[in-house]
A = this chain, B = another copy of it.
Amino acid sequence: MSRGITKIQEKILDFIIEKRIGAWLPPTLAEIARYFDYKNRATVQQHLQALEKKGYIKRNPKLARGIELTINDKFFVPRPVLGEVAAGNPLTIYPDAIDTVELPTIARMPKDSFLLKVKGDSLKDAYIFNGDIIIVNPNIEPKDAHFVVAVLDDSAVVKRFYRNNGSIELHSENPDYKPIVVRRSYENLKVVGVVIGVYRSMERKAV
């Protein structure tokens, strides 16, 4: 009975975690077998039994997709951060992640939403700080007072959104900055999405 897990077992564990993140479903034995090119599920079964014996997972017997993660050190899983926002800088959403942020294993992203890392202190008046992760949902219609991520003339802004018959206003939290007012038809304004939340991982933050 070796102390740790084997490399193959670790790979399978990673797969379980990834599956759980990406497809929000723990995989079945057959899916694991397919991914690792095993000819049958019995092999997977044995690996899972080993992982359970070593305390990395818990299994609900006979239950479809009944794999539960029990581990703590694998608790944080890297998620891609698609870009950065900082006042005045253009917002670029790269196809490849510029960075990864450690989100709790359980934290699931809403469909099509993405993460942006906040850089600098430009949003401190909105109580959003350097390093915070904002969750941006491009699928919901911005309503008044929503924080939105918008690209305006090649600059990215995170501001409060207001409609005012015929025009759109982008308000800053800092009263020193006057609201930006543009016509609704103005082509160089693109509302990327609505900031639906701010998440800050606490465990490894060094101040």
Stoichiometry, as copies per complex, reads: 2
Q: Does A83 contact B (CB under 8 A)?
A: no
Contacts A145-B206, A202-B195 hold; do A64 and B140 have CB atoms under 8 A apart? no
> Does A15 sit within 8 A of B, measured CB to CB?
no
Q: Which residues of B contact A68 (CB under 8 A)?
A: 24
Interface range on chain A: under 10, 10 to 19, 20 to 34, or 35 or more?
Answer: 35 or more
Q: A25 contacts which chain B residues (CB < 8 A)?
A: 25-26, 65-66
Binds B, one of A38-46, A48-56, A104-112: A104-112
Contact between chains at A106 and B24 (CB < 8 Å): yes
* A110 contacts B75, C-beta separation under 8 Å: yes
- The yes or no answer to A167 lying at the interface (CB within 8 A) is no
A129 to B126, CA, bound (A): 11
- In the complex, whether A36 has a CB less than 8 A from a CB of chain B is no
Q: Which residues of A contact B (CB under 8 A)?
A: 20, 24-26, 28, 64-66, 68, 70, 72, 75, 104-111, 113, 127, 129, 135, 137, 139-141, 143, 145-147, 173, 194-207
Closest 3 CB pairs of A and B: A64-B64, A106-B108, A198-B200
Subset of 13 A-B contacts with CB under 8 Å: A28-B64, A64-B65, A75-B137, A104-B135, A127-B129, A147-B202, A194-B203, A196-B201, A197-B199, A197-B202, A198-B200, A198-B202, A199-B199
